[in-house]
Amino acid sequence: MKIGILGGTFDPPHFAHKEIAVRAKTQFGLSKVIFIPTGNPWQKSPISNSEHRYNMTNLLIEDTNEFEVSRIELDSSRETYTVDTLKELNYDSENLFFILGADTALGIKSWKFFLELDNLCQFLIAPRHGVDKNKLGKEFPFDYLEIAGPELDISSTNVRELLIDGENLNKKIPTNILEYIQTHSLY
């Protein structure tokens, strides 16, 4: 059974998160994709409450049986690192596929114990608007497969900015997530 892992702060989750999971599942024959909201991120702050991010991620995938959301990092009291999460999941590295956007992939060398990741999983990288594929090929330290499809130009940072400015977000996040954000006065 091939498993995809898509980690992130999901603050908030958006259509690009779901789209790269769909593409990865379809193109690489994954049995399921597990979304893992970051627990105590050491590289990003401030971020929204973990329960809100977990709930919004569940809303993003609620209509897809092949996707699930894990609390593995959210329920940890310590700082969470991808390498520890993948070890704790304890899947065979030949059947575990870590899904990244190209922009995130370029920063992987800043992750704690990043060299160990190559022994724990295979890498699937989605193209991202503004990220040169040649640069990615030169700078990403591991072998990877590219998730085919158009470059995606949605980021959680951009979504938060547009929310503050009162912009229409129908093409960036699902209505149920927008309603959740409004109900809980996030951002």
Query: What are 78-90's pLDDT values in tens digits?
Result: 888 999 999 999 9
CATH topology classification for 3-153: Rossmann fold (3.40.50)
Helix or strand (DSSP H, E) at 17: helix 15-28
Least confident of 42-46, 67-71, 116-120: 42-46
Give the three-class secondary structure for 103: helix
pLDDT at 20 over 70: yes
CA torsion 56-162-48-24 (nearest 10°) is 50
- In the sheet that holds 96-101, the strands lie side by side as 67-69, 32-37, 3-8, 96-101, 122-126, 145-146
Q: Where are the beta strands (DSSP E) in 55-177?
A: 67-69, 96-101, 122-126, 145-146
Nearest 5°: phi and psi at 89? -65, -35
Nearest 5°: phi and psi at 107? -95, 5
Q: Is 29 left (phi over 0), alpha (psi -120 to 50) or beta?
A: left
Amino acid identity of 151?
E
What is the pTM for the complete model shown? 0.95
Per-residue pLDDT band for 77 (boundaries 50, 70, 90) equals: confident
Give the three-class secondary structure for 99: strand
Per-residue pLDDT band for 44 (boundaries 50, 70, 90) equals: low
